[in-house]
Structure 1
Amino acid sequence: MISLEDRLPSEAVVNAVSDIEDSDVTDLPPLYGAIDTDALDALFTGDAATSVTFEYSGYTVTVEDNEVVFVQQ
């Protein structure tokens, strides 16, 4: 679990997965191959309750409106 802490959701997802894999973010496949990163970031700019789950680099990633990223294998 990672807090977004002033990061875009797309950045937080890549950072969370790179932390789990103990690798550099540049070693991961592009996130835009799994989800539209602009749409992902736009979903979390308002106050509406939102939750998005998708597959990325062998993980199930969930971004929630409380600004938390969950990554599960």
Structure 2
Amino acid sequence: MEDQYDSDTVRASVSESGDAITDMIVRTVATAKDCDALDLPPLAETVDGDALVALFSASTDVTVTFAYAGADVVVQNPGRIYVTPSDD
């Protein structure tokens, strides 16, 4: 599959070590925005973390896209995260 994301996009994968997908999303957004993860608003204000965990715990092909903390976030199963700072 051809990479559809530009050079400003930060990519991450949820490791098999048990990292929660929600934690990885916040850390990846912090990296993309060049800030500390603690400086970001709670992810729960934007998306239901339990629903994300449930979606990505299943072995189905799913993609979720949302805006969070001035970034466009795409999460694809199995555990791929793409974050692009938005132009806002």
TM-score (norm 2): 0.77
Distance 1:14 1:49 in 2: 22
Unpaired stretches in structure 1, ≥5 consecutive residues:
none
Pick the aligned partner of 1:5 from 9, 12, 15: 15
Distance 1:24 1:60 in 2: 17
Moved over 4 A (4+): none
Pick the aligned partner of 1:27 from 24, 35, 39: 39
1:63 equivalent to 2:83? Answer no
TM-score (norm 1): 0.91
Count the aligned residue pairs.
Answer: 73
How high is the sequence identity, in percent, across the aligned residues?
34
Unpaired stretches in structure 2, ≥5 consecutive residues:
1-10
Q: CA RMSD in A?
A: 1.1
The structure with more radius of gyration:
2
Distance 2:48 2:78 in 1: 20
